[in-house]
Structure 1
Amino acid sequence: MTGARAATAVDPAAITDPLGLPAQPPVRLLTAWYADRRPDDLAAHLRRHGPVPRVDADDLIAEVDAAGLRGRGGAGFPTATKLRAVVAAGRRPGRPGRRHAVVVANGCEGEPASHKDAALLHCAPHLVLDGIALAVRATGAGTAYLCVHAGSANVGTLREQVTARHDPVPVRVVEVPARYIASEASALVQYLSGGPALPTSTLPRAAERGVGRAPTLVDNVETLAHLALIARHGADWFRAIGSPELPGTLLVTIGGAVRRPGVVEVAAGTPVRAVLDLAGGPTEPVQALLNRARPVDPPPRHRHRPGGPVTTPTVRPASPTARCASSPATWTGT
Structure 2
Amino acid sequence: MTEVDKLTPVLTKRWLSPNSWTLRTYEQLEGYTALPKALRGSPEQLVQLVKDSGLRGRGGAGFPAGVKWSFMPPNEDKPHYLVINADEGEPGTCKDIPLMMADPHSLIEGCVIASYAMRAHHCFIYVRGEVPHCIRRLNAAVAEAYQAGYLGKNILGSGFDLELVVHAGAGAYICGEETALLDSLEGRRGQPRLKPPFPAAAGLYAQPTTVNNVETIASVPYIVNAGADWFRTMGSEKSPGPKIYSLSGHVERPGQYEAPLGTTLRELLDLAGGMKDGIPLKFWTPGGSSTPLFTAEHLDVPLDFEGAAEAGSMLGTTALQIFNETVSVPWAVMKWTEFYKHESCGKCTPCREGTYWLTQILQRMVRGEGTETDIDTLLDVCDNVLGRSFCALGDGAVSPITSGIKYFKDEFLALCESNRAKGASQTEPALAGAGS
- TM-score where L is the length of structure 2: 0.63
Residue of structure 2 in register with 1:186 after alignment: 179
The verdict on how the C-alpha distance between 1:286 and 1:67 changes in structure 2, with shifts beyond 3 A counting, is same
Residue of structure 1 in register with 2:162 after alignment: 169
1:26 aligns to 2:8 (yes or no): yes
Among 187, 212, 217, the residue aligned to 1:219 = 212
Deviations 1:84-131 (A, max 9, x none): 10134x56xxxxxx4211000111111121110111111111111111
Residue of structure 2 in register with 1:275 after alignment: 268
Q: What SS does the corresponding residue of 2:137 show, helix, strand or coil?
A: helix
CA contact (8 A) 1:61 1:80 kept: yes
Name the one with the larger helix percent.
2
1:62 aligns to 2:67 (yes or no): no
- CA shift at 1:169, angstroms? 1.0
Distance 1:57 1:142 in 2: 13
1:154 aligns to 2:134 (yes or no): yes
- CA shift at 1:322, angstroms? 3.8
1:48 aligns to 2:29 (yes or no): yes
Q: Identity of paired residues, percent?
A: 30
The verdict on how the C-alpha distance between 1:303 and 1:186 changes in structure 2, with shifts beyond 3 A counting, is farther
Distance 2:59 2:297 in 1: 22
Q: What SS does the corresponding residue of 2:199 show, helix, strand or coil?
A: coil
Q: How many residues align?
A: 294
Distance 1:275 1:266 in 2: 8
Residue of structure 2 in register with 1:138 after alignment: 117
CA contact (8 A) 1:289 1:306 kept: no
The verdict on how the C-alpha distance between 1:322 and 1:260 changes in structure 2, with shifts beyond 3 A counting, is farther
Distance 1:218 1:293 in 2: 20
Structure 1 range deviating more: 216-225 or 118-127:
118-127
The verdict on how the C-alpha distance between 1:50 and 1:156 changes in structure 2, with shifts beyond 3 A counting, is closer
Distance 1:255 1:286 in 2: 13
Superposition RMSD in Å:
2.7
Deviations 1:113-150 (A, max 9, x none): 11101111111111111111011101111210011111
Where in structure 1 are there 5+ consecutive unaligned residues? 1-21, 92-97, 327-334
The verdict on how the C-alpha distance between 1:59 and 1:29 changes in structure 2, with shifts beyond 3 A counting, is same
CA contact (8 A) 1:86 1:207 kept: yes
- CA shift at 1:25, angstroms? 2.4
- CA shift at 1:182, angstroms? 1.3
1:230 aligns to 2:223 (yes or no): yes
Q: What SS does the corresponding residue of 1:245 show, helix, strand or coil?
A: coil
Q: What SS does the corresponding residue of 1:318 show, helix, strand or coil?
A: strand
Residue of structure 1 in register with 2:321 after alignment: 316
Runs of 4+ in 1 over 3 A off after TM superposition: 322-326
Deviations 1:136-194 (A, max 9, x none): 10111121001111131201111011011131312100011212111110111111223
Residue of structure 2 in register with 1:77 after alignment: 63
CA contact (8 A) 1:187 1:197 kept: yes
Distance 2:48 2:110 in 1: 15
Residue of structure 2 in register with 1:331 after alignment: none
- CA shift at 1:42, angstroms? 1.1
